[in-house]
Structure 1
Amino acid sequence: MRKRELGKTGIAVSELAFGGVEIGLPYGIGVKSAADMLSEDESIRLLHEATESGVNFFDTARLYGASEAIMGKAFRDRREQVVIGTKCRQLRDGNGELPNGSDLKKLIKTSLLESLTALQTDYVDIFMLHQADLGILENDEIPQIFADLRAEGAIRSTGVSTYTVEETQKAIETGVWDVIQLPFNLMDQRQAQAFAQAAEKGVGIVVRSVLMKGLLTSKGHQLHPALADVENHLRRFDDLVATGFPDLSTLAVRFVATFPEVSSLLVGIDKPAYLHQSLAAVNGAHLDAETLARAKDLAYPDPTFLNLPHWDRMGWLN
C-alpha cells in the first residue's frame, strides 16, 4: 500500500482510507437496518484485515453510531499502527444557531472527550469539524479552541469536512486547518479547482464520496425514477471501463487516486469483498493522461443536482 503525506501534518497515510460510517449505522444503497450490517465481531475482524493489508488511515465521527466504539475495541492493542480521524458533533443547534463563548468550547471539548472514550485512546490524529459551512468557517473562536486541544496533546492535527467549493476555498484561505475532507468523484469533479491552492498551502486533502454511496459500483442500476438521468449518465462510463478496468468502481477509485494533491481517498467498507476490491483498485496503476482526460470529460453536466444528502432525505437511495 502506497502512503502519502497528509499535507504538512507530518502524518503519512495510506492512499486508501477506511470509511467507518457503514460499520456504525445503516448507510448506503440497500442498507435499511442493523440486519443489513456486519456484527460487531465481524466489523472488528474486517478492521484488523484492513490494517494487515496496509491500510493505516481510519475515518469515523461522533455521529456515526457505534463506529467509534467498534474502532476502539479493534485498535486498543495496536493504536500506534493506525491513524484515526474523527469528527466533532454538529455545532449548530436545532434552530441553526451557533453557540458562543464557554458553551461553544464545552460542546467541542465534550464531543472530543466522548470520542476519546469510545475510541479507547488519549489522542486522535485528526479532529475535524463536521459539515463546516461558511458561517462556521468565519467564526474566530473555533480555531482557537482546536489549537488549544492540539497544544494539550489531545489531537495531532485539525480539519474540516466541507461540501461546496466555496467552503473548501474558505477553509484553505483561513490558514488554520491542516486537513480538508471533501466530496469528489467521477460524476462530481467541482472540487478539483481547489486542489492546487490546497497543495500550495500545505493542506492535506482527503476525498470522500468516491463511489457516491455505491452509485459508482454495480449498485448503480434500477435507481429511483427521480434519478433516471443519473442512471443514464452512469452508463456512459461503460466504454471507458471496457478499456482495461474490471468494473466501474475500480475506475472510480483510480480516477481519484491519480490526483497527486489527494492525500487519501475514503471508501466506505462493510464487507471483506469490498475491502479486497478497494485494495486491488487503489494498488493498481494510476490513469494515463488520455484515460484521465476522457474521465474528466464524463463529469455529470449538472453537478448541483448531485446532492446525496437530499436524495437520502427524499428516499431515492432506498
Structure 2
Amino acid sequence: MTRTLGRTGLSVSPIGFGAFKIGRNQGVKYPTPYELPDEKEVSRLLNAVLDLGCTLIDTAPAYGLSEARIGDAIGHRRGEIILSTKVGETFADGVSTYDFSEGGIRTSLERSLRKLRTDFLDVVLIHSSGDDLQILRETPAVEVLQQFKDRGVIGAIGMSGKTVEGASQALNWADVLMVEFNLNDTTHAEVIQAASDRDVAIFVKKGLASGKLAAEDSIRFVLGQSGVTSLILGGLNLDHFRENWRVALESRRP
C-alpha cells in the first residue's frame, strides 16, 4: 500500500524511515539516551526496513553520520528508495550551524549527493532554524532549490519548518511540506488541509512527540488524516519498526 506524493507523480510508503538516530545522539530531544549503532547494525537495520516495503528514507546533513551511512548501507539499492534530505542546517562537533546562502546550499547539496552515492535527490527540504518567514523572504534558499530542480538534480522541493505561517507561505512553491502533527499538537491541521487542496504532499514529523506518545494510537491518528502522505518514524529497534509498519498498513483514511 502506497500513497501518492502530491503532484510529483511518485508514490511512497505510509511510513518513512527517519534516519536521525543512525547518525546522531548529541543534542537530542528524545527522553531516553542511546548509543549510536555500528556500521554493521546500520546496514542490517536499513536493509531490513527496505525489505519490509518501506520506500521513503528521510535524512539530513544535521543528522550527523546519517547520509554517509545510508549511502554505504543501501546505496546499491538506490532504485528502491525515495530519498528525502535537507539543506540549511549542518551538525558537527556537537553544534548545529545554519547557512541559507546560495553558496551554502549548493555546497550542502553537492555534499549530500556524494555521501548518499547518488546523482539525484527525490526530495530536498529547507531545514528551518525556526525563522521560517525570514528564511523564505530574505534568503535565496527557495530560488537555489528551484534551480537544482530545473536542472533535474532534485525531483521535489519543500520545507521542514516550525511555524504555521511559514508552512502557509511555502504552499506557494513547495511540492512537499514536513510539519509537526500529533495527538497533542494539531496546530498544523489547517495547513495540512490547504496542502491537500493544492496537491502538496505532507510528511509528518514528531507524530509520536519524540517518543512521548503511544505508537499505535498515534500512528492511526496521523495516517487517518486525509491530507497526510507519510509519517516519518525513526528508531533503532527493528521489532518496533515492524510493529509500527503493521499498524500503518492497517490504518485507513476517512
Q: Secondary structure at the match of 1:153?
A: coil
Letter aligned with residue 260 of structure 1: S
Letter aligned with residue 245 of structure 2: L
Q: In the superposition, relative to structure 1, how do residues 262 and 107 fare at CA in structure 2: closer, same or farther (>3 Å)? A: same
CA distance in 1, matches of 2:22, 2:108: 20
Q: Which residue pairs with 1:53 in the alignment?
A: 52
Letter aligned with residue 202 of structure 1: D
**Mapped pair 1:201 → 2:198:** yes
Q: Secondary structure at the match of 1:126?
A: strand
Displacement, 1:97? 9.2
Letter aligned with residue 251 of structure 1: D
Matches within 5 A, 1:107-186: 107-131=104-128, 133-139=132-138, 141-172=140-171, 175-186=172-183
Checking the alignment, whether the CA contact within 8 Å between 1:43 and 1:70 is kept in structure 2 is yes
**Mapped pair 1:281 → 2:223:** no
Displacement, 1:137? 1.6
CA distance in 1, matches of 2:182, 2:98: 31
Checking the alignment, whether the CA contact within 8 Å between 1:25 and 1:65 is kept in structure 2 is yes
Letter aligned with residue 174 of structure 2: W
Matches within 5 A, 1:70-85: 70-85=69-84
Letter aligned with residue 88 of structure 2: R
Displacement, 1:285? 3.5
Name which one, 1 or 2, has greater alpha-carbon Rg.
Answer: 1
Letter aligned with residue 68 of structure 1: E
Checking the alignment, whether the CA contact within 8 Å between 2:157 and 2:174 is kept in structure 1 is yes
Displacement, 1:140? 6.6
Matches within 5 A, 1:15-54: 15-26=14-25, 27=28, 28-32=30-34, 36-54=35-53
Letter aligned with residue 85 of structure 1: S
**Mapped pair 1:3 → 2:5:** no
**Mapped pair 1:188 → 2:185:** yes
Displacement, 1:19? 0.5
CA distance in 1, matches of 2:237, 2:135: 35
Q: In the superposition, relative to structure 1, how do residues 135 and 194 fare at CA in structure 2: closer, same or farther (>3 Å)? A: same
Letter aligned with residue 49 of structure 1: A
Letter aligned with residue 161 of structure 1: S
CA distance in 2, matches of 1:40, 1:211: 27
Q: In the superposition, relative to structure 1, how do residues 215 and 153 fare at CA in structure 2: closer, same or farther (>3 Å)? A: same
1:248-277 deviation digits (Å, cap 9, x = unpaired): 210101110001211100011211122112
Q: In the superposition, relative to structure 1, how do residues 22 and 135 fare at CA in structure 2: closer, same or farther (>3 Å)? A: same
CA distance in 2, matches of 1:98, 1:24: 20
Q: Percent identity?
A: 31
How does the TM-score come out when normalised to structure 1? 0.73
- After the TM superposition, list the runs of 4 or more consecutive aligned residues in structure 1 that deviate by more than 6 angstroms: 96-99
Displacement, 1:57? 0.1
Task: Using the TM superposition, name which of 256-265 and 269-278 deviates more.
Answer: 269-278
CA distance in 2, matches of 1:139, 1:200: 27
Letter aligned with residue 191 of structure 1: H
CA distance in 2, matches of 1:274, 1:140: 40
CA distance in 1, matches of 2:220, 2:204: 12
Among candidates 222, 225, 230, match of residue 259 of structure 1: 225
CA distance in 1, matches of 2:132, 2:77: 35
1:180-238 deviation digits (Å, cap 9, x = unpaired): 0010001111111112211121211000001111111xxxxxxxxxxxxxxxxxxxxxx
Checking the alignment, whether the CA contact within 8 Å between 2:159 and 2:176 is kept in structure 1 is yes
Q: Secondary structure at the match of 2:143?
A: helix
Letter aligned with residue 193 of structure 1: E
Among candidates 211, 219, 222, match of residue 214 of structure 1: 211
CA distance in 1, matches of 2:50, 2:137: 37
How does the TM-score come out when normalised to structure 2? 0.90
Q: How many residues align?
A: 244
CA distance in 1, matches of 2:253, 2:71: 36
Q: Which residue pairs with 1:239 in the alignment?
A: none
Unaligned runs of 5+ in 1: 217-247, 289-318
Q: Secondary structure at the match of 1:38?
A: coil
Structure showing the higher strand proportion among its residues: 2
1:100-133 deviation digits (Å, cap 9, x = unpaired): xxxx221111000111111011111001100161
CA distance in 2, matches of 1:276, 1:130: 28
